[in-house]
Amino acid sequence: NAGVTQTPKFQVLKTGQSMTLQCAQDMNHEYMSWYRQDPGMGLRLIHYSVGAGITDQGEVPNGYNVSRSTTEDFPLRLLSAAPSQTSVYFCASRGVNQPQHFGDGTRLSIL
Amino acid sequence: AQSVAQPEDQVNVAEGNPLTVKCTYSVSGNPYLFWYVQYPNRGLQFLLKYITGDNLVKGSYGFEAEFNKSQTSFHLKKPSALVSDSALYFCAVRDSTYDKIIFGKGTRLHILP
């Protein structure tokens, strides 16, 4: 099984550009989440979803949009990239009362 | 609001000695608690969880954790450390009344040969 797949693995953007980070899981998990990891800050929750068509904000949602049109996919959109969004982004999925499975991350640099 | 704290940024332990990585939490409902490990340039890997039941939880790679409700703690332990245990460890909590999972800032564990 592929598990949680994130694309791209690396990306460099200029300030003001937009992009979408892709996340797909093949485990039929209801719950999916996006985190960002910054030095000294740990993992901070950006947005999460409890099923197709349902999303909610996490700890640091500003500057990011999400949608969940299918169970498998949970893309994260940066509408106008800012240097403060330079980070490593992780997508995770889980079943009910189960631990999360993480992707390998997307390393994003905003110049 | 739920929160989790890992009070130590780094823990150094000699190989063969017991190790403890500390975690405390705050939730309004019942806690679901997790420990994850991260190796360089990788995603997080699940080690163990507490949902309900025995306060001592056993997990992968010889790790265990003790749930203490009165102290709101969930410390990670291992009786004998290995150099290969060196990594970044994260504690996470989910409040049973909510669906989101919150992580601590992480503790870097160094096992010294």
User: B41: which residues sit within 8 A by CB, 6+ positions away?
Assistant: none
User: What does the pLDDT look like over B49-98, one tens digit per residue?
Assistant: 999 888 999 999 999 999 999 999 999 999 999 999 999 999 999 987 77
Contacts of B103 in chain A (CB under 8 A): 35, 42-45
Compute the average pLDDT of residues A89-97: 93
Cβ distance A33 to B101 less than 8 Å, yes or no, reads: yes
Nearest Cα neighbor of A31 from B29, B98, B104 is B98
Q: Which amino acid is at B100?
A: K
Q: Do B44 and A102 touch (CB under 8 A)?
A: yes
Q: How far is CA B52 from CA A22, A100, B60, B62, B68, in A?
A: 34, 17, 18, 20, 12
Q: Please name the residue ranges forming H helices in B1-113.
A: none
Distance CA B82, CA B71 (A): 28
Q: Residue A42 is nearest to which of B34, B101, B105, comparing CB atoms?
A: B105
Q: Is the pLDDT of residue A1 over 90?
A: no
pLDDT tens-place string over residues A25-46: 999 999 999 999 998 889 999 9
Q: What is the pLDDT of residues A78-87, one digit of tens each?
A: 999 999 999 9
- Asked if pLDDT for residue A63 goes beyond 80, the answer is yes
Name the residue in chain A with its Cα closest to that of B102: A45
Radius of gyration over alpha carbons of chain B, in Å?
13
In this model, does residue A49 exceed pLDDT 80?
yes
Report the pLDDT value the prediction gives residue A74, as an integer from 0 to 100: 98
Per-residue pLDDT at A40: 85
**CB contact at 8 A, A101 and A27:** yes
Chain A: give the shortest CA distance to residue B26, in Å: 15
CB-based contacts of A53, cutoff 8 Å, min separation 6: A68, A69
